[in-house]
Structure 1
Amino acid sequence: MYLGLDLGTSSLKAMLIDDGQTVIASADAALSVARPHHGWSEQNPADWIDACRIAVGRLAERHPGELAAVRGIGLSGHMHGATILDKEGAVLRPCILWNDTRSHVEAAQLDDDPRFRAITGNIVFPGFTAPKLVWVKKNEPEIFGKVGKVLLPKDYLRYWLTGEYISEMSDSAGTSWLDTAKRDWSDELLAATDLSRSQMPALVEGSEVGGTLKSALAAEWGMTGPVVVAGGAGDNAASACGMGTVADGAAFVSLGTSGVLFAANDRYRPKPESAVHAFCHALPGTWHQMGVILSATDTLNWYAKITDKSPAELSTEVGDTLQAPGDVTFLPYLSGERTPHNDAAIRGAFIGLAHESDRPAMTRAVMEGVAFALRDNLEALRSAGTELSRITAIGGGSRSRYWLKAVATALDLPIDIPADGDFGAAFGAARLGMLAATGGDPLAVCTPPKTAETVEPETAHKAAFEEAYQRYRALYPAIRAVTKA
């Protein structure tokens, strides 16, 4: 048996699979986010430990025999978070999360240093880890002076599980400290932020062993044999392993809290000026590119609160039959945007409202706005040398047939819907746990699921979606000009 642990922003999920990769059971535990100031987003790492104990404890209660047979654990987690420990391993402050934009000034300053783009292959985004540590140095110098280790969120979970300070390539590529081509920390970039290699975890590949479960935790959960913990992956790379998106040109679109257009690569293809992320993949000798939008299903959740309806009710109200875009355009920049704008200050907007703009029209505009933001990502990937012929859909938003039709038509790409099953980050993490425990062939383990159905672009609406997309593109600079920085 193999256990995947996915540390998400809103919950931790534990998934148990067998040797045949059949999902035996899963359990989760909720997490909350603190927003003490505008643009801030934090979590207490102790809550991750509590959530892990709850989720795995539920599996132990319901499936004690299967959990006893676990031989490998894989880890996945939300990326970029700055988890700061002292030399004794104590947490010094709440973790600054991926969607925290307080360090936008520091990010711009680091990005002005040409070494960062040249070595990491990426823009220094405000959400990345390095600018957060620069912010801490400026604003919390007493904490910065005590830094013993800087860990990414899933790697703090690993530290609790194993006692080891270890990370892996895919997650570390999102720190702005990794030499992405060499798959190693850059001493030069660490020094530029007044840190050193000694304050970073050791690095392994995602499918390699990255520690052994502590005997006390193994006993608590009834695990009877030695249990290795895999290097694991950042959440998007873990999802790619779960979806079998590991071969060159394979791609998926994720409609989760954030939105991602992810493409696997057999070589390193950086183009930082496009705001495309060029990261190491979780498997040795592979990389990936992705465009990222900061608000995907979060936009519909936000609109649902305003309308006092659930997202499911809003989705049901618009039906399944795709309509041509109307006069209302929505910009989904509720917490800034990454690809292609790298703009922490931009905010969302409805444009073109009129008396006849009813709730369904505005719901469709929200879905179309996310679809057009993903089209921006597709154009950025193309500029970085990646052409896609089809994509697979994952994430909660993919349950809306209308939304998938809008995305397929906006991107002019067919979207495959996997057969029933959970192939997300927890499943990918479990696969990595299997690889670490067995030494298996990554390509033989990380296979794609069967396709249940394909959503094709609707040619009847292609011209209308293209016209609406061009209108969408023109609105960013207009809104940016009046956005308060």
Structure 2
Amino acid sequence: MPQHYLGIDVGTTAVKALVVNELGSVVGEAESPLEVSVPRPGWAEQNPSDWWHGTVHAVRAACAQADIREVESIGLSGQMHSSVFLDDSDTTLRPAILWNDVRTTVQCRLITDSIGKTGLRRLVGNPALEGFTAPKLLWMRDEQPHLFDRVRSLLLPKDYVRLLMTGEKATEPSDAAGTLLFDIRRGCWSEEMLDALQLDPAILPPVLPSTGVTGGLTTAAAEALGLRPGTPVVGGGADNAAAAVGSGVVGQGAMQTSIGTSGAVVAPIERPRVDPAMRIHSFNHAVADTWYLMGVVLSAGAALDWFRRALSGPSGMPPTYDELTSEAAAVPPGADGLTFLPYLTGERTPHADSNARGVFAGMHTGHHRGHLTRAVMEGVVFALRDSLELMRRLRVDATEAVAVGGGARSSFWRRMQADVLGVPVVTVGPQGGAPYGAAVLSAVGSGGLASVEEACGAWIRPLDRIEPDPETAATYDEAYERYRKLYPRLKRHFSEQAQDSSSPP
């Protein structure tokens, strides 16, 4: 009888479900959209019950498309950092505070002052940034103490869905690593961090392996999902870790570059390494005894989308991506000296500067729309290179980069990545992203395959490969140097501009 595995990703904009057969082929997939609430500027929240409703809808639709009513196991993936607060009856106390919520600047400063940068580097391997989980918990203690006093459990999005599926509370290392409460080296909650922040360790769930079975579907959950009671649910992985598994990026020497709304560079490593200045993230992978370095570009595909929308005429119809890409391709590499900083919403790696803003530099009358488009696309890839250069300083490099996300659909952008990053760029199939990685983890967890590495080798195949062109790469090296020098010269201006805009009239 054919075997099937289910992967679920609890994302920010949608819950996605994907059914994979024993050959690794996707036979059913569906998604259910999610809304993000913005009660105040800089805040971002979701109702955790919406994740469950979205999961039910997406799973039923994907299984109907696959024409199945039973799967061997279920793997979970989800947005990192976002926080679910539960009382003693496992009822949510307030909407979940999401990863892109920036209300916790004061709490981040408190954490840094209390622990020190050296302490953060030693204990959790990452700086205190607004996106992480721990600052959200401290914000609740400071601003909503009546609710904080009732917190008995803290869960991450995929783990809340796990609770409703199995009745069990659990997480796994790749998601725990994004809380700022997890010792990435020892693979356990950091008692020293919890003590310093005066947080009760009892509110944190057990940490089980990413391929470990964390429970089985309850009768009620099975009925809601249309699946068999007792179906095993495995640990799964954080979205970036699961996406890396889904593209076969599971061992040192591989690298994943992502251009979606945001961008990321993910490079697995065999032992934990932390940048001395913590400019790049260091997390546990969803693969046993493996970690990964990750750099984040806050506005990647979003930068090109912003530029495209800015070109809308009176009709409101912007040019197509194909039109813009064709014009950009007619412009030489380096955009005839035009440089773009894609910091439209600040930047994470390497600057961790929420005040940074987008910039066109070097513009003259000889530039036209194609130059502007090319500069935007180059700026995004230069931002990816910033992360890769930090990794190289830690003696982590790649023999090739697997391109994923919407930007990977553009052969022009993939060619640009190869030339700027100086490594071959490949695409792989199936292109299922994080839910596909979750399905891989579920197959390993239920014994369908012996290891994540074996599963990736059997199921994931290369589709396309672009080698760097040495001459073009040399041109981009010069353009990247122009790009790299801009931020230090503008940092003070960004800070002053932010102060001016926040000052009362």
- Band of TM-score, shorter chain: over 0.9
2:22 is equivalent to residue 19 of structure 1: yes
Other-structure match for 1:217: 221
Equivalent residues in 2 for 1:376-455, closer than 5 Å: 376-419=386-429, 421-438=430-447, 440-442=449-451, 443-447=453-457, 449-455=460-466
2:491 is equivalent to residue 473 of structure 1: no
Specify which of 176, 190, 193 is matched with residue 189 of structure 1: 193
CA distance in 2, matches of 1:21, 1:329: 42
CA distance in 1, matches of 2:276, 2:16: 33
Residue type matched to 1:107 in 2? C
Other-structure match for 1:350: 360
CA distance in 2, matches of 1:251, 1:454: 14
| Cα displacement (A) at 1:140 | 2.3
Q: Deviations over 1:294-339 (max 9, x none)?
A: 2211222222322232663454443656731223322112222221
Other-structure match for 2:503: none
| Cα displacement (A) at 1:225 | 5.5
From the superposition, tell whether residues 21 and 218 of structure 1 become closer, same or farther in structure 2 (CA, over 3 Å).
same
Other-structure match for 2:59: 56
Equivalent residues in 2 for 1:57-456, closer than 5 Å: 57-64=60-67, 66=68, 68-112=69-113, 113-114=115-116, 115-224=119-228, 226-308=230-312, 309=318, 312-313=321-322, 315-318=324-327, 323-326=332-335, 327-419=337-429, 421-438=430-447, 440-442=449-451, 443-447=453-457, 449-456=460-467
Contact 2:330 2:370 in 1 (8 A): no
Contact 1:99 1:294 in 2 (8 A): no
Contact 1:121 1:272 in 2 (8 A): no
From the superposition, tell whether residues 315 and 427 of structure 1 become closer, same or farther in structure 2 (CA, over 3 Å).
farther
CA distance in 1, matches of 2:284, 2:410: 31
SS of the residue 1:167 aligns to: coil
Contact 1:339 1:380 in 2 (8 A): no
CA distance in 1, matches of 2:259, 2:408: 6
| Cα displacement (A) at 1:224 | 3.2
CA distance in 1, matches of 2:320, 2:32: 21
CA distance in 2, matches of 1:157, 1:334: 33
Residue type matched to 2:341 in 1? L
Residue type matched to 1:127 in 2? G
CA distance in 1, matches of 2:478, 2:347: 22
CA distance in 1, matches of 2:38, 2:277: 30
Contact 1:137 1:144 in 2 (8 A): yes
From the superposition, tell whether residues 9 and 314 of structure 1 become closer, same or farther in structure 2 (CA, over 3 Å).
farther
SS of the residue 2:277 aligns to: helix
Range moving further from structure 2, 216-225 or 184-193: 216-225
TM-score, normalization by structure 2? 0.90
Range moving further from structure 2, 230-239 or 26-35: 26-35
Contact 1:329 1:352 in 2 (8 A): yes
Residue type matched to 2:102 in 1? T
Other-structure match for 1:30: 33
SS of the residue 1:446 aligns to: helix
Contact 2:154 2:203 in 1 (8 A): yes
CA distance in 2, matches of 1:412, 1:285: 28
SS of the residue 1:181 aligns to: coil
Matched residue pairs, number?
Answer: 482
Other-structure match for 1:7: 10
CA distance in 1, matches of 2:30, 2:406: 17
CA distance in 2, matches of 1:150, 1:261: 28
| Cα displacement (A) at 1:355 | 4.3
| Cα displacement (A) at 1:41 | 2.2
Contact 2:24 2:460 in 1 (8 A): no
Contact 1:170 1:280 in 2 (8 A): yes
Q: Deviations over 1:38-88 (max 9, x none)?
A: 322222222212211221121344344x2x221210011111112222222
**Ranges in structure 2 where 5+ consecutive residues have no aligned partner:** 313-317, 500-505
CA distance in 2, matches of 1:50, 1:272: 43
SS of the residue 2:121 aligns to: helix
CA distance in 2, matches of 1:102, 1:335: 15
From the superposition, tell whether residues 146 and 349 of structure 1 become closer, same or farther in structure 2 (CA, over 3 Å).
farther
TM-score, normalization by structure 1? 0.94
Q: Deviations over 1:170-211 (max 9, x none)?
A: 011011100111110012212323322211111101111122
Identity of aligned residues (%): 39
Contact 1:40 1:101 in 2 (8 A): yes
SS of the residue 1:270 aligns to: coil
CA distance in 1, matches of 2:308, 2:163: 38
Contact 2:214 2:235 in 1 (8 A): yes
CA distance in 1, matches of 2:201, 2:52: 26
CA distance in 2, matches of 1:45, 1:349: 37
Residue type matched to 2:474 in 1? A
